[in-house]
Structure 1
Amino acid sequence: MLTSKTKVAMGGVALGVIALWLIPGWILTLLVLGAIAVPVAAYLMLDPSQRRKVRARGRKRLGA
């Protein structure tokens, strides 16, 4: 069976392929940049202590 993360990833890829056919290039570029910019902006809005917690959690997950 596929995990839920795998299903979400496969759905994202399928949606991306469909978007390549249906959406003009410059709008698609804006969508991709927006998808990258939102999490980056959210991370930059965190306090330094919250950023440390996020980084520590990421390192903890890498070792597991």
Structure 2
Amino acid sequence: MKNLQVDFNAPLNELDSEIQTYGCRQNNPDICGSNGLEGICGFASSDCLCKKPSRSWKKQYNKLKENS
């Protein structure tokens, strides 16, 4: 089984975008409102993509993209 909890500051995955992340980049996935929702949560989706990352993700994505 793959480790799908990815540090918020980890380098971008090729599947990351402003609107989705590979795996989960939440600091505490247990309190995420989308945790376990099939088709939305990276832990519960067959593609391992979180379709509803945190509100701060877009800014972080652009920061990581600039630094890569």
User: TM-score interval w.r.t. the shorter chain?
Assistant: under 0.3
Larger Rg: 1
Q: TM-score, normalised by structure 1?
A: 0.27
Q: Which has the higher contact order (CA 8 A, sep 6+)?
A: 2
Q: Which has the higher helix share?
A: 1
Q: Which has the higher strand share?
A: 2
Q: TM-score, normalised by structure 2?
A: 0.26
